[in-house]
Amino acid sequence: MGRKFFVGGNWKCNGTTEQVKKIVSTLNGGEVPSQDVVEVVISPPFVFLPLVKEALRPDFHVAAQNCWVKKGGAFTGEVSAEMLVNLSIPWVIIGHSERRLMLKESNEFVGDKVAYALSQGLKVIACIGETLEQREAGSTVEVVAAQTKAIAAKVSNWADVVLAYEPVWAIGTGKVATPAQAQEVHSELRKWLQANVSPEVAASTRIIYGGSVTAANCKELAAQPDVDGFLVGGASLKSRSSLTLSSLLRSRRMPKF
Ligand SMILES: O=C(CO)COP(=O)(O)O
């Protein structure tokens, strides 16, 4: 079976109740193929999760943008994996570069978070990606391999993991990776999984791309054999987001819809 195309919208720390309702209603009206061929996951800030979950069409799913590294307790300001499970939130984004860089989340900490979230029954979008400095120093593959290794060291069930390659220099900058640049890293990641985890995991794990993806540039990216979907930031917040979504979904060869 082929890898199901995955489209995620990461709203980051944005939105008001009114804006959230507007985007959800636009998404609900969007024409999309069946969930057998594509998975759509929307990730609002924590406080809007119940609202979005309640209002969103049932064939789309929601993700939290983070969760605590272990069982909840005396960790002021954190949200635990157990709480997300309690609210029937199926997905969580872990290791986004904005947290790795600004909040100093290390590879090991991210690996621990991924492992704990999986152990509680959540599905994980695990983010990796190099900075501009690292790319210019020629260490892109080394950096993303080390990030993946720290996750792989603690994960046994890859069925619930989507790997999101998000080059830091492409996030929110309008400087999207070229299709060739994305394909090169995705292919290296798949080779890494093949050599270090298993050929089955390498063949079945979805590796999605994030970083300045828009309706205008998604088609060429999605045509790359190892690009299995997107994690979209800014463009997922636009009021015409259902148009963006339709373009994203139509960007991959799919049954007519
Ligand atoms: O960080 C991202 C998704 O997680 C990408 O953000 P942009 O699409 O705004 O570049």
pLDDT digits over 160-178, tens only? 999 999 999 999 999 999 9
Give residue 248's pLDDT. Answer: 79
Q: Whose CA is nearest to atom 2 of ligand 1?
A: 233
What is the chain's percent helix, strand, coil content, to nearest 5? 45, 15, 40
Annotated active-site residue 133? The verdict is: no
Annotated active-site residue 186? The verdict is: no
* Inside any domain, residue 255: no
- Residue ranges making up the domain that contains 62: 5-250
* Inside any domain, residue 13: yes
* Inside any domain, residue 237: yes
* Inside any domain, residue 113: yes
- Whether 89 and 49 have beta carbons less than 8 Å apart is answered as yes
Report the candidate in 208, 120, 122, 193 with the shortest Cα–Cα distance to residue 151. Answer: 193
Give residue 188's pLDDT. Answer: 98
Structure tokens at 243: 């148009």
The mean of the pLDDT values for the chain is: 94
Catalytic residue among 96, 98, 105, 186: 96
Record the pTM.
Answer: 0.96
pLDDT digits over 81-119, tens only? 999 999 999 999 999 999 999 999 999 999 999 999 999
244 — pLDDT class (breaks 50, 70, 90): confident
- How many CB atoms are located within 10 Å of the residue 159 CB? 9
* Inside any domain, residue 256: no
Q: Whose CA is nearest to atom 6 of ligand 1?
A: 233
163 Cα: distance to centroid of ligand 1 (angstroms): 14
> Which residues have C-beta within 8 Å of that of residue 114, sequence separation ≥ 6?
94, 95, 124, 126, 151, 154, 155, 161
* Inside any domain, residue 200: yes
- Whether 55 and 24 have beta carbons less than 8 Å apart is answered as yes
- Whether 168 and 127 have beta carbons less than 8 Å apart is answered as no
Tally of domains within the chain: 1
* Inside any domain, residue 21: yes
Q: What is the CATH number of the domain that holds 209?
A: 3.20.20.70
* Inside any domain, residue 257: no
Residue ranges lining ligand 1, Cβ < 6 Å: 10, 96, 166, 171-172, 210-213, 231-235
- Whether 171 and 212 have beta carbons less than 8 Å apart is answered as yes
Q: Which residues in 125-156 are b (16+ Cβ under 10 Å) and which e? A: bbbbbbbeebbeeeebeebbbebbebbbebbe
Backbone phi, then psi, for 248, in 5-degree steps?
A: -60, -45
